[in-house]
Amino acid sequence: MSKPTLAAAIREGIRARIEAGEWSERLPSEPELGVVFGASRETVRKALAGLEAQGLIYRIHGKGTFVEAKVAFNPLSGALSITEELSRSGLPVSNKVVSKGWLPVAELPSPFLRACFEGDEQVYQVTRLRMVKKHALALEVSYFRAGDFPGIAKAAFSGSLHELMTAKYGFRPDRVQNRIHGLGADPAALKEAQQMLGTRAVLRVERAISQKRHIHYAVRFVLRTDLYPLEFTQIPKRHGGG
């Protein structure tokens, strides 16, 4: 096993102190870090560059190096407005439309999605990048049943998808079905994640959104897991009257 470089060791040392809460907002200056880790300023800069690329820190010229705030996001929460859920973090959230157009149902990428639109010939597909600050958090592809959303091809998709569905079409979903997948056995999907999100540390969620048992649209998103924690809250069932 190869010995880690000094820059890599410093990088992991800084990461450990951030995760322990020792450095929660602002890091010491580069010269101070050099003293802490017994390294040159150039080596410290290499370590910081690696942490910045991973989204753990950010640097402002003339002001210093700061710890990147975390986004707590549970992809299986059932929350329909992912934009709104992410916005609660207080960080700027934006949606970048990558492509859109009609797609034959037979070309949908999974049996689950094809089953959602059984009986239809085509769906309207919209591909977006979910951005938190400068980082791409997720690659999201939405599929709309044409008969349920007339004029969908002319709709704007820069904001909340759920808000668009409720405000423009009056759609009030009452059921969300989620399926979660790892991508270890899907080289093509991993390559796409690497190209679009900059990492192979991802998971895929497929989601069908229904009203009265009728699926109106479905969403497939590949979510980056190396920048932000996936947070789950469980409330145990109470027993007895105590």
Higher pLDDT, 91 or 166: 166
Structure confidence by residue, pLDDT tens digits, 130-143: 887 777 888 889 99
Measured in degrees and rounded to the nearest 5, phi and psi for residue 232 equal -120, 130
- pLDDT at 195 (0 to 100): 82
Cβ atoms 47, 8 nearer than 8 A:
yes
- pLDDT at 1 (0 to 100): 42
Tell me the average pLDDT across 179-196: 78
Q: Is the pTM of this model over 0.85?
A: no
- pLDDT at 85 (0 to 100): 63
- pLDDT at 63 (0 to 100): 84
- pLDDT at 142 (0 to 100): 93
pLDDT band, very low/low/confident/very high, at 223 (cuts 50, 70, 90): confident
pLDDT band, very low/low/confident/very high, at 35 (cuts 50, 70, 90): very high
Q: What's the token pair of residue 4?
A: 């880690």
User: How far is it, in rounded angstroms, from Cα 237 to Cα 242?
Assistant: 12
Structure confidence by residue, pLDDT tens digits, 36-89: 999 999 999 999 998 887 778 888 888 889 887 665 555 555 555 666 666 666
Higher pLDDT, 92 or 21: 21
Higher pLDDT, 196 or 239: 196
In order of start, what are the domains of the chain with their CATH numbers? 6-67 (1.10.10.10), 82-224 (3.40.1410.10)
